[in-house]
Structure 1
Amino acid sequence: MKKIIYALILPLVVVSGLVFANREINNETSKKPGPKPLTAAEREAEMKKWKATPEGTKFTIWAVSPEGKKVLATAAKIRENINEYTNMEAVVTALSLPPGSRLGFGVMARINGDDYIIKFEPEKSQLEQLHSLKVNDKIIVRSHNVSHAPKYSYPIISGEYVERDGKVIYKHVPREDGC
């Protein structure tokens, strides 16, 4: 009987040893550095290539159109706040994004008289607080990023910090993998 138990335990020990050894090998390979950043000349060359694509052409046409100029000018108005990660006072104007948007969860807000899309990447625990927002709520927003796309008539702010009535209702949680 003892021989049978030893015979069953031995393969279990060997297999578990192989599993842990393989895990260490996988962890070591993931520590390789990523690709090095492009130089200014390489970035410029890549940008020229992209502008020659149909998407790049559409973007260029949009950027010089009246609608594109308006979106870019509106985004430029808050660029300093974005760069310095300072508070921006906003008023929630809509609890849903424009029809057809694929930005996930977000709200429309007015900052200094201009409308913006504020998109969030909330954890499930943060959704309840964000769903408590109502139209005409005054909030404080901070972000490191404002973007724009021809599909949207408003600049897109990536919400990283939101405060209402002196209470933090949303704070972006960085991803564990660092991306």
Structure 2
Amino acid sequence: MKQIIYTLTLALVGASGLVFANHEPANETSKKSISKPLTIAEKNAALKKWEASPDGVMFKKWEASPAGQKVYAAEAKIRKNIGAFSNMEAIVTSLSLPAGSRLGFGIMVKINGEDYILSFGPEKSGNNILNTNTEFEQLHNLKVKDKIIIRSHSVSHAPKYSYPIVAGDYVEQDHKIIYKRALRQGGC
């Protein structure tokens, strides 16, 4: 009996030794998955490759078109305010985004005579017991021609849209904050 237990124990130790010998440590795998940053030459090569692709060609044509130039000019008008995260006075021009938009919840506004998409991102459902969204509740109460004060950290563009896209980070109406983007938790 002792001999059988000894043989089984020895076989188990041998098998586990083989398993652990072929197993890579977890920290080595994580090191392999982290790639080193691209050099400037590699970045330029990747950019040239993308510009030669059908999407890159289409984007370059859009940039050179009157529509693309109009979007860039409108972005330039608010670039200083975006960089300083300072107040911009806006007038609500539409309570919905252009047809086919995939930006989530947003409204159209006019700032300094130019039209912009003010995007807040996707609406989350089920935030409370009644399954209603309270995050954008006060924004849903806005009306066309309402004057609001907005602040944003970023403005972007896409060939699909004829207007610059301003990220809605802060909205104030009649000296009352009606929306303030929550800071990300647990991130960098």
Common topology (TM > 0.5): yes
Question: What is the distance in 2 between the residues matched to 1:41 and 1:136?
Answer: 50
Q: CA deviation at 1:84?
A: 1.1
Q: What is the match of residue 92 of structure 1?
A: 92
Give how far 1:71 is off: 0.8
TM-score, length basis structure 1: 0.75
Question: Structure 1 CA distance, aligned partners of 2:78 and 2:183?
Answer: 23
Q: Which runs of 5+ in 2 are unaligned?
A: 1-28, 125-132
Moved over 3 A (4+): 33-43
> Aligned pair count?
150
- Aligned to 1:152, what secondary structure does the other structure show? coil
Could you tell me whether the CA contact under 8 Å between 1:95 and 1:135 is conserved in 2? yes
C-alpha distance in 1 between matches for 2:60 and 2:111:
27
Q: Does 1:136 align with 2:145?
A: yes
Counterpart Cα distance in 1 of 2:103 and 2:94: 15
What letter matches 2:187 in structure 1?
Answer: G
| Per-residue deviation, residues 4-28 of structure 1 (Å, max 9, x unmatched) | xxxxxxxxxxxxxxxxxxxxxxxxx
* Equivalent in the alignment of 1:15: none
Counterparts of 1:82 and 1:169, CA distance in 2? 19
The residue identity in structure 2 corresponding to 1:82 is I
Q: Quick check: which has more Rg, 1 or 2?
A: 2
Aligned residue in 2 for 1:166: 175
1:155 lines up with 2:164 in the alignment: yes
User: Which segment is superposed worse, 108-117 or 120-129?
Assistant: 120-129
Deviation string, structure 1 residues 36-63 (Cα, Å, up to 9, x no partner): 6545444333322221221111100000
User: Residues 82 and 44 of structure 1: is their aligned pair in 2 closer, same or farther, counting only changes over 3 Å?
Assistant: farther
Identical positions, percent: 61
1:50–1:168 Cα change, 3 Å:
same
The one-letter amino acid paired with 1:133 is L
- Equivalent position of 1:107 in the other structure: 107
Kept after mapping to 2: 8 A contact 1:50/1:56: yes
Moved more, 58-67 or 39-48: 39-48
The answer to whether the 8 A contact 1:95-1:107 is kept is yes
Q: Please report how far the alpha carbon of residue 110 of structure 1 lies from its aligned counterpart in structure 2 after TM superposition.
A: 0.2
Note closer, same or farther for the CA distance 1:42–1:109 as it changes in structure 2 (3 Å cut).
Answer: same
SS at match of 1:92: strand
Amino acid at match of 2:167: S
